[in-house]
């Protein structure tokens, strides 16, 4: 689980790809973003980035 961290990374897309690579099959990744945080990644953008990394959105 990441809480308000993804936007702090230098390359969030690469970070998501690495999370996908090391996550066990059937594993669950949870990301929490905080509106108002200057590095907040809006949900539509996060969904696109996660999909590009090969992950599937489950729910919000």
CA atoms within 13 A on the CB side of 59: 1
Residue 11 has pLDDT above 70, yes or no: yes
How high is the pLDDT of residue 1? Answer: 64
**pTM, entire model:** 0.82
How high is the pLDDT of residue 60? Answer: 83
Q: Which residues lie below 8 Å from residue 1, measured CB to CB, with a gap of 6+? A: 29, 30, 31, 32
Model pLDDT for residues 16-60, shown as the tens digit of each residue: 999 999 999 888 888 887 778 888 888 899 999 999 998 888 888
Residue 3 has pLDDT above 90, yes or no: no
């Amino acid at each position: 689980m990441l809480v308000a961290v993804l936007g702090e990374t230098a390359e969030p897309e690469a970070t998501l790809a690495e999370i996908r690579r090391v996550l066990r099959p059937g594993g669950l990744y949870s990301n929490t973003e905080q509106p108002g945080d200057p590095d907040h990644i809006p949900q539509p953008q996060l969904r696109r980035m996660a999909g590009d990394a090969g992950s599937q959105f489950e729910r919000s």
